[in-house]
């Protein structure tokens, strides 16, 4: 199948959906609502066959069912059979791991992202935010995505891994490759990974030669039952932290700024009631949940009557689950002080986002610092806002004007 055929515009999302289709990328919520009320499990032959359940219950069922669904690949591409992605370990443990290995891989990395170590990073994150806000000081109009949102998470993650902060442009390239360029043919996508693999090899060598106190060093030297992790495990987890730690939080920060830039009453309320921020952060996470995961079907399996086949993809739409009216009152309304908010932005079940505490803190601090500096701002050109395609959704360009 040629790329042109793959990119044929979608005319029926129930039978031929594509999460990189421009209509989906621009505004997926009406599409999902229509599917939820009329379908509610959509199918496509694209990507070699994929399903998309749209209710909260179904998303929860898939997320919690490791018997019928494997995580060995979690990003839908045209290649279901890369040689380095065998379950139960997969290419980026623990996100690509299945039980029982998953539990071990998670045990390795969870302590670094628990609330204690994460809370200790708050001052550092705040300083990073202020540094980037200083670069736009005095400007009447600037791009809140390209000048601010995109810098926060790469700065945090590169420091955690002990990578040079100056390489952050490279990190965004890696993320773009892994998460955005997903519909390339296999023979075009594969070679693009070479520079990323070489970069990680160089960082590992540098850390082995010059040990220092960071997450890479920890992964290289930690021992369980007297044994170190395999180099593939170390490398895979490093890739996971970099890729999953950047685009996701950047998207969340961007979506929240975008929202505030065209909802002045919400902005005014946050400025007037800073104590509302933790509750507002949860609503930003529900309403603009950036991350959609994927699973592969282990064996032929009947899912609520839909005949899933071995190695079919399943798109695990946590953002769609977060808009299910069965689960949330006024699900399609942003309620900044929503008290009951059992959202699934960080996933459900054993693969709950490892970085959730960090992401939540980064989002809160990035917003606190931005609105402290700019208590009033608005979109200059709503049509200029661009969105990242694929399984991590967020605005990239967010042109704003500072209001006096």
Exposure string of 85-119, with b = 16+ CB inside 10 Å and e = fewer, is: bebbbbbbbbbbbbeebbebbbebbeebbeeeebe
264 binds another protein (CB under 8 A): no
Backbone angles phi, psi at 396, to 5 degrees: -100, -55
Q: Of the candidates 83, 116, 138, 305, which one interacts with another protein according to CB under 8 A?
A: 116
120 belongs to the binding site for another protein (CB under 8 A): no
Taking the C-alpha atoms of residue 28 and residue 120, their distance in angstroms, rounded to an integer, is 37
Asked if residue 44 lies in contact with residue 50, where contact means CB atoms within 8 angstroms, the answer is yes
Binding residue for another protein (CB under 8 A) from 22, 30, 111, 274? 111
The answer to whether 184 contacts another protein (rule: CB under 8 A) is: no
356 touches another protein by CB under 8 A: yes
Question: Least separation, in Å, of the C-beta of 355 and another protein?
Answer: 10
CB of 240 to another protein, least distance (A): 17
**Which of 13, 24, 51, 113 touches another protein (CB under 8 A)?**
113
Contact assessment for residue 246 and residue 175, using Cβ atoms and an 8 Å cutoff: yes
3-state SS assignment for residue 7: coil
C-alpha to C-alpha distances, 62 to 56, 98, 264, nearest whole angstrom: 10, 13, 38
Counting contacts by CB under 8 A, is residue 282 touching another protein? Answer: yes
Query: Do residues 102 and 88 touch, judged by C-beta distance below 8 A?
Result: yes
Contact criterion met (CB below 8 Å) for 294 and 75: yes
* Nearest distance from C-beta of residue 119 to another protein, angstroms: 10
Q: Which of 278, 302, 305, 330 binds another protein (CB under 8 A)?
A: 278
Containing H/E element for 291? none
Residue 284 within binding range of another protein, rule CB under 8 A: no
Q: Which of residues 318-347 bind another protein (CB under 8 A)?
A: 339-344, 346
- Binding test (CB under 8 A) with another protein, winner from 22, 84, 107, 135: 107
Residues that bind another protein (CB under 8 A): 107, 110-111, 113-116, 278, 282, 339-344, 346, 348-350, 352, 356-357, 360
């Amino acid at each position: 199948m040629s790329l042109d055929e793959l990119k044929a515009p979608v005319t029926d999302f129930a039978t031929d959906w594509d999460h990189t289709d421009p209509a989906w990328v621009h505004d997926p919520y009406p599409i999902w609502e229509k599917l939820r009320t009329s379908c509610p499990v959509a199918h496509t032959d694209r990507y070699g066959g994929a399903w998309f359940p749209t209710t909260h219950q179904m998303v929860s069922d898939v997320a919690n069912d490791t018997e019928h669904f494997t995580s060995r690949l979690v990003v839908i591409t045209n290649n279901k059979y890369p040689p380095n992605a065998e379950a139960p370990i997969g290419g980026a443990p623990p996100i690509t791991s299945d039980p029982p290995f998953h539990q071990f891989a998670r045990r390795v990395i969870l302590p670094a992202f628990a609330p204690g170590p994460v809370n200790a990073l708050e001052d550092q994150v705040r300083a990073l935010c202020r540094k980037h806000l200083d670069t736009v000081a005095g400007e009447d109009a600037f791009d809140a995505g390209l000048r601010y949102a995109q810098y926060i998470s790469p700065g945090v993650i590169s420091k955690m891994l002990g990578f040079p902060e100056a390489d952050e442009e490279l990190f965004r390239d890696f993320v773009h490759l892994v998460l955005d360029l997903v519909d390339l043919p296999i023979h075009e996508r594969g070679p693009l990974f070479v520079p990323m693999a070489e970069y990680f090899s160089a960082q590992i060598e540098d850390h082995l030669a010059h040990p220092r106190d960071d997450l890479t060093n920890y992964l290289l030297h930690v021992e369980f039952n007297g044994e170190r992790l395999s180099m593939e495990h170390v490398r895979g987890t490093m890739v996971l932290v970099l890729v999953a730690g950047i685009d996701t939080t950047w998207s969340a920060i961007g979506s929240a700024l975008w929202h505030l830039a065209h909802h002045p009453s919400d902005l005014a309320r946050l400025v007037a009631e800073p104590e509302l921020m933790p509750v507002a952060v949860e609503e930003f996470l529900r309403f603009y949940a950036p991350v959609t995961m994927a699973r592969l079907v282990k064996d032929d399996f009947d899912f609520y009557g839909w005949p899933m086949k071995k190695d079919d993809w399943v798109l695990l739409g946590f953002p769609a689950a977060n808009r299910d009216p069965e689960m949330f009152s006024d699900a399609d309304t942003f309620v900044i002080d929503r008290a009951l908010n059992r959202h699934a932005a960080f996933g459900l079940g054993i693969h709950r986002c490892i970085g959730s505490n960090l992401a939540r803190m980064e989002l809160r601090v990035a917003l606190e610092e931005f609105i402290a500096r700019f208590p009033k701002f608005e979109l200059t050109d709503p049509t200029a806002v661009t969105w990242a395609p694929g399984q991590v959704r967020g605005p990239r360009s967010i042109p704003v004007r500072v209001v006096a």
